[in-house]
Structure 1
């Protein structure tokens, strides 16, 4: 019996050692989350989700239509489109907030289409048709976004725009980070990029590939995309030798969203005017 016990202990020791060696030599450590995934993780933070009150009821009634296009993962996606009245290779890609492609985003698309004549406006849908009605649902949708799928949608939109396209991008919150990713994916086609209080790209190697400068709209009272995040982005862009303009406002996260109680109309209009002027310059509009 003693020999049998000794044998069992010895076997258990060998298995344990083998498992440890396998873990240390062969197992891959979990990959660090990228910028957009890191921002999505905030959805589990009660302070973050609690700071986003449900959008006020609103129905958009105006120009535009939903279009469908192929994505690079063999699927399809839809976008809200307002096409230029004249033939144009200039495009503004709009990325929605964590609520999804709702009627507020469609209204923003219509506003930019009116203010940027000669530009095709596409409001992309990174939630594949889902729209949140409350913060809990929005958090789940944002966390559920797979990087590969979101990139496939953006790449599909770039292919839809065509080989001669000149691309500008803009987004808020969740969409702010993805606006920067859109500019990176657009490569040489990228002409302008606006990001409202979104998570910046942290990989300097990627930032070096940017073909455009970036306009970053920053809310000083934002607890998440805070001063530290912005200062690091400034350093990273400087290291990458890329131009960055930061517009700061003494407001809170989502101050530019008219459906949010934290909406600050004066600052929102000022930021919009700055964004509009920047987009016109990047797309070389008169």
Structure 2
């Protein structure tokens, strides 16, 4: 059952060319903040040496090997956690740790889609995102799902944020082994995947004030709603009033980075509500 809820308090790519332009100008045309440059060293340290209990593994697929980071109970349901355009940095690791600690517990795995690279500012993040092999990223996701299923997780979900949110929805179409998806503020382009062909249950979250037109604004969220209705799968689309893009990023460093780019403060109540819905969805569909 699909519900759109106004919550209280070249090669195929995820983004079209227009979306790339919109994402870039959205950030680069914001007033400059010295804190962005001042925070670069801090962000590098956080990205390279986050003090979280991850196990680094390597996953093979086709003729390539990529690193991944795992945290959580060995025999718990698995969740693949997909990065924003920044790469595998402190914030996506924070999300994975949070997921692993949700009752009754999950095993979270972050595949390194950028192969060790991390964007420290908007220009670097855009460069990395534009250079991503999107079909290859979907293959990485599928290999990650299958690794979890081969290593103690009977069922596996996928979640992601921004770029990772779009890839999560694409995976619900393109990766048949997935058992559930929760996507945050991102919709794939029609060239990559048509959500009307989704095969796994999808829950999606968007901020009402998100102005990434065609990618994660309210219009894009409502269009996703219609596509998911057509798929016939269980699905929900939640829209959070008063919240913008990336409202789930609530670490001290993430909040500072958002402010340096002119992003409004997020709503803690909305974040907790989103996590509660995430937990309910994944528990429902990943229970053995």
TM-score, normalised relative to structure 1: 0.77
Which residue is 1:24 aligned to? none
For the 8 Å contact 1:208–1:242, the answer to whether it is kept is no
User: Within the alignment, does 1:168 sit opposite 2:157 as a pair?
Assistant: yes
Higher RCO (CA 8 Å, separation ≥ 6 residues) = 2
Measure how far apart 1:263 and its partner are: 4.1
RMSD: 2.9
User: Residue 165 and residue 42 in structure 1: after superposition, are their counterparts in 2 closer, same or farther (change >3 A)?
Assistant: farther
- 35-44 or 162-171, larger mean C-alpha shift: 35-44
Which residue is 1:16 aligned to? none
For the 8 Å contact 1:95–1:124, the answer to whether it is kept is yes
For the 8 Å contact 1:174–1:198, the answer to whether it is kept is yes
Alignment of 1:10-159 (within 5 A): 33-36=12-15, 41-42=20-21, 45-50=24-29, 54=36, 57=43, 58=46, 60-72=50-62, 74-85=63-74, 87-88=75-76, 90-159=77-146
CA distance in 1, matches of 2:51, 2:83: 18
User: Within the alignment, does 1:217 sit opposite 2:220 as a pair?
Assistant: no
CA distance in 2, matches of 1:207, 1:61: 37
User: Within the alignment, does 1:256 sit opposite 2:248 as a pair?
Assistant: yes
CA distance in 1, matches of 2:57, 2:22: 29
CA distance in 2, matches of 1:213, 1:166: 13
TM-score, normalised relative to structure 2: 0.76
Measure how far apart 1:45 and its partner are: 3.1
Which residue is 1:183 aligned to? 172
Structure 2 gap segments, 5+ residues each:
1-9
Structure 1 gap segments, 5+ residues each:
1-29
> Could you say what secondary structure the match of 2:186 adopts?
coil
Instruction: Summarize deviations over 1:116-158 as a string: whole Å, max 9, x none.
Output: 4453210121111101111110110111101232123122213
CA distance in 1, matches of 2:64, 2:175: 20
Instruction: Summarize deviations over 1:175-196 as a string: whole Å, max 9, x none.
Output: 1001112333331x32221111
CA distance in 2, matches of 1:111, 1:217: 17
